[in-house]
Structure 1
Amino acid sequence: MDSLPPAAARHLWIGLMTLASTITTLALACATPFPALAALAALHVRRQDGIILMLAAWAVSQGVGYCLLGYETTVENGVWAGTMALAAIASLLGADGAARLLPHAHPAVRLVVAYGAAFATFKMAVLAGAWALDSGWAAFAPDVMARQFGRYAMILAGLLALQHLADRSGRLRRAATA
């Protein structure tokens, strides 16, 4: 099977990961796996495309939250929405920066390091929002953080499996290099 043109492969990859994120968001009641998406994007697409993915996943997450889960349209929720957008982008930039520090490392090592950086930068950005709003502190309890880290790691494994299936189809091989 022929590969898609590079731009089409990138767009299809972003769409596929956004769809997978949407399914996860619905399953977890709006807990979008931004660190998992960021780590995978850091290794598979250009930074610009990773940012597009993060914003697409964020937009869908907001749609799910406000349209399907009945989130209230309050100023505080609006600020949290903006915080989550910034945290999603920070997560991607953290993962991308960490992955770039290890250009010759085994891909599995790069992925683990990118995931750790993505999770840390995501949580730091959310912490800034919690501080600004003086709310959301429960998300930083050690047991909650451990559960989130583990849950997002499992989602990353699932996204990685999806990535491998897409690679095996031959259609998306050029997404990362284009």
Structure 2
Amino acid sequence: MTDAAAPTPSNVVFVGAVATASVLLSAALACATPFAALAALSVIALPRPQALLAVGTAWLLNQIVGFGLLGYPADVVTLGWGLAIGGAALLAVPAADMAGRQAPVARTLAGLLGAFAAYEAALALAALALPGSAGAYAPAVVVRLFLINLATLAAALALRALAETLVHRHARAA
């Protein structure tokens, strides 16, 4: 690992925040966990390897919540969907990263759009092989999922801005 890819303390904290968000969002939203938003957030805050780690950790914790807390059945179809979601979440990271060097707001929104498109496309492909997706791609469902991702992204960015403000105030006061 090069120094540029070595995790910094703030990156470790960010990965922990994504992991915590995943547990809370998985418990609250189950199958609607906003992995595209988590991917977009991770890409703007972390180098790609660490963004993949953050999203992969979020997916693993989502599965632990689903099977352990929410009682998902441990059958072939459910396990297949779990793996498909994990693959789709990881594909969302490079898709979010393709937004490039735009202005921060445009990059963040483009990252979310790219991540969401890649995530949903990967799951649509998985649906061809896995049963249990009837109605999952109805326009109203896709819009609802996008709005969940958008709200998650907005809330996370607001919390991040608040935390940065508090840190700067504390630093000035010290």
Q: TM-score range by the shorter chain?
A: 0.7 to 0.9
Normalized against structure 1, the TM-score is what? 0.85
Counterpart in the other structure of 1:29? 30
CA distance in structure 2 between the aligned counterparts of 1:22 and 1:162, rounded to whole angstroms:
17
CA distance in structure 1 between the aligned counterparts of 2:56 and 2:136, rounded to whole angstroms:
22
CA distance in structure 1 between the aligned counterparts of 2:132 and 2:125, rounded to whole angstroms:
10
The CA deviation string for residues 55-97 of structure 1, in whole angstroms up to 9 with x for no partner, is 1110110011000010010011111111011000011110012
The CA deviation string for residues 20-77 of structure 1, in whole angstroms up to 9 with x for no partner, is 2221211113422101111111211111111001111101100110000100100111
Counterpart in the other structure of 1:16? 17
Whether 1:48 and 2:45 are equivalent positions in the alignment is: no
1:19 is displaced (CA, Å) by: 0.6
CA distance in structure 1 between the aligned counterparts of 2:58 and 2:109, rounded to whole angstroms:
21
Specify the SS of the correspondent of 1:166: helix
1:166 is displaced (CA, Å) by: 3.4
1:168 is displaced (CA, Å) by: 3.2
CA distance in structure 1 between the aligned counterparts of 2:49 and 2:66, rounded to whole angstroms:
26
1:170 is displaced (CA, Å) by: 4.1
Specify the SS of the correspondent of 2:132: coil
Change (3 A) 1:15 1:134: same
CA distance in structure 2 between the aligned counterparts of 1:168 and 1:60, rounded to whole angstroms:
29
Query: For 2:109, which of 100, 109, 112 is the aligned residue?
Result: 112
Whether 1:78 and 2:75 are equivalent positions in the alignment is: no
- Alignment-mate amino acid for residue 25 of structure 1: S
Change (3 A) 1:59 1:6: closer
CA RMSD of aligned residues (A): 1.8
1:163 is displaced (CA, Å) by: 2.0
CA distance in structure 1 between the aligned counterparts of 2:94 and 2:134, rounded to whole angstroms:
24
Greater relative contact order (CA < 8 Å, ≥ 6 in sequence): 1
Contact 1:76 1:133 (C-alpha < 8 Å) held by counterparts: yes
The CA deviation string for residues 95-115 of structure 1, in whole angstroms up to 9 with x for no partner, is 012x22xx1x21001111111
Instruction: List gaps (5 residues or longer) in structure 1.
Output: 172-178
Whether 1:166 and 2:166 are equivalent positions in the alignment is: no
Counterpart in the other structure of 1:147? 144
Change (3 A) 1:108 1:52: same
Query: For 2:126, which of 121, 126, 129 is the aligned residue?
Result: 129
The CA deviation string for residues 109-164 of structure 1, in whole angstroms up to 9 with x for no partner, is 11111110010000011111101114313210001001111111011111111222
Instruction: List gaps (5 residues or longer) in structure 2.
Output: 1-5, 169-174
CA distance in structure 1 between the aligned counterparts of 2:120 and 2:86, rounded to whole angstroms:
12
